[in-house]
Amino acid sequence: MVQKIALEEHFLDPATEPYWRPTMVDVAPAKVEQLYGALTDFGEQRLAIMDKTGVARAVLAIAGPGVQVERDTAVAVRNARASNDFLAKEIQKRPDRYAGFAHLAMQDAKAAADELERCVRQLKFRGAMIDGHTNGKYLDDRSYDPFWERAADLGAPIYLHPADPAAPLKAIEGYNVLARPMWGWGVETGSHALRIICGGVFHRYPKAKLILGHLGETLPFQLWRFDSRSAPYGWNLPKPPSQYMRENVWVTTSGMYDLPPLRCSVDALGRDRVMFSADYPFDWPGCEFLDTVAIDESLRADIAFNNAARLLGL
């Protein structure tokens, strides 16, 4: 069993629970309470599973959507700070096993930048997790430039987590099975990442760092097509899309436990760009997958531990 750093491991706190509950309305009540119990545990239950599966360190982030769906900006800022303070206290109890991603109120770019800096410098968090768009506003919006500038200056990676689209996708209307993890979340999050690239965020802030789950939301598979089809249709950035992907984007294995997409991501982006996530408590089989998948042992160690240790300074 290989030692692992897990990057998409979720929790809940009093400030973010009210935003999470409405996302569970279609889930059986017994399952909701099981998840709630796991999300609010920072002690023996979580640590026992980590020990059993070889997770040496878990980087904790809230179970979305959190304050990003809040309409009152002042409330969002206040609740994000409360959530981060809560997480910092839990990490202080077991700093050898836990690290943190900041939760940010993206309704206010400057407040989000200030909170990110506080979390990185004072609370020693390792970056931030952002749950998709914020009330329909995506991270390529130029109003977010101060945030990206601060994140780049801090060297703080931004993990872009899936969220429901701002409006239902017409192409999959009537097929609820497609709406979320099977397809819709990947389309939404991959498109969001492409907006960030096409919007010139990495051109303006070349030291900015973006993390995507699910082995890159299918984007590594598409790099040749992105490059070959972008120039004839108005591409106006100095580097091709694939170069921004390879220089500014990292991916994790969360929810994608199969050898072909793993090999594609490693081949397309480089072996130093692929990391491990278990997506606890929603999707835990990734630990066994990484222990047994047929890859070189040095690559297994890089994906499981070394790449995240370098990127996050763990």
Across 111-123, average pLDDT: 98
Is 31 exposed, middle or buried, given 0-12, 13-18 or 19+ CB atoms closer than 10 A? Answer: exposed
Is 294 exposed, middle or buried, given 0-12, 13-18 or 19+ CB atoms closer than 10 A? Answer: exposed
Range of the domain at 44: 4-312
What's residue 283's pLDDT?
Answer: 80
Active site residues: 279
Q: What is the residue whose two structure tokens read 């980087």?
A: 59
Q: Are 78 and 102 in contact (CB under 8 A)?
A: no
Predicted structure pTM score: 0.97
Percent of the chain with pLDDT over 90: 95
Mean of the per-residue pLDDT values of the chain:
96
What's residue 173's pLDDT?
Answer: 93
284 has pLDDT over 80: no
**Lowest mean pLDDT, pick from 14-28, 74-88, 254-268, 279-293:** 279-293
What's residue 130's pLDDT?
Answer: 98
Across 207-232, average pLDDT: 97
CATH value at residue 213:
3.20.20.140
50/30 Cα distance (integer angstroms): 23
Q: Which amino acid is at 49?
A: I
158 has pLDDT over 80: yes
Domain count, the chain: 1
Residue 67: pLDDT band by 50, 70, 90 thresholds? very high
